[in-house]
Every structure is written in C-alpha cells, then in structure tokens.
Amino acid sequence: MSRDSAPEPVRDDALGRRLFPDGEEPDARFTLANERTFLAWIRTALAFVAAGVAIEAFTLGSLPPGVRKGFAVAVIAVGVLIAVGAGFRWWRVETAMRRKRPLPVPGIVPLLGVVAAAGAVVAAVLVVSA
C-alpha cells in the first residue's frame, strides 16, 4: 500500500524535522485532532485579548485609570500566555504520539479555570460597585 494515487509535492519541511526529530507519524486523524484542539485554545486566547481591549475601551471613568489599565494588561497577558502554552502543548502532544508515550497532562486547564473564575469575581465586584 505504498503507492501514491494523488501526486504529493512533498516540500522540504525543515521546521517539522527540527521539532519532531524522531518517532513515526501517528494516524493522520490524531494529528488533525491535535491541531483542532490547538486552534480551539487559540480562539480562547483571542477571546481573552479581545476582552482585555474591551476592558480598556469600555470602562472609562468607572475605575481609577491605573487599576483599569493594569487589569486590561493582565487579561491580555493571560491571552498571550494561553496562545504560547497552546503552541507548546501542540508540540508536546504530537511528540508523545510519535513516540507512543502517554499524552502530557494539560497544564493550561487548571490555570484557565482559576483565571476565568477570578475574572468573573472581579466583573461582579465592578458591576456591584459601579
């Protein structure tokens, strides 16, 4: 079963070889599922970035400017952290699948839970005190 029916122009994937030097490629469906998970995390990260921008843009006057800016920057920073963490996790999961090792424990999940809960508390405090 090693014939190609559709022509496959295989480009030189130098970055791929550097990131995944060993192991054998897993079933394509697992690679794709890993990608979809990564993309879902990215969309979450983008939501955080947009929320940080919205905090700065839409809560003018109800907070001292230092607190507001600090909060907005913190939320944006969480978004960036999620994005970077998601890319790192994508790499770790793909590597684990290639070496047929167990998948790594997701570290972003508890962090995200804590941050989202804290954000909700702060938002409630803002609503009540405005």
Partner 1 sequence: MSLGGGAGARGVPLPGPSDPGLQPERTALAWTRTACSLAVVGLLGLRWSGPFGSAFLLVAGFACLAVLLVLARGRRRFARLGHALHDGAGSRPGALSPGAVAGSPGAGGERGGNGGGGGERGGNSPARPASRSVLAMVSAVALLGATAAVVVAAV
Q: Which chain residues interact with partner 1 by CB under 8 A?
A: 1-2, 5-6, 8, 13, 15-16, 19-20, 25, 27-29, 31-36, 38-40, 42-43, 45-47, 49-50, 52-53, 56-57, 69, 72-73, 76-77, 79-80, 83-84, 86-87, 90-91, 94
The number of angstroms, rounded, from the C-alpha of 94 to the middle of its chain's C-alpha atoms is: 15
Nearer to partner 1, 73 or 116 (CB): 73
| Nearest to 106, CA basis, from 86, 123, 126 | 86
Nearer to partner 1, 1 or 128 (CB): 1
Residues found in the chain? 130
Helix axes 28-58, 65-98, angle to 10 degrees: 180
At its nearest, how many Å lie between partner 1 and the CB of residue 3?
A: 8
What gap in Å lies between CA 57 and CA 51, rounded to an integer? Answer: 10
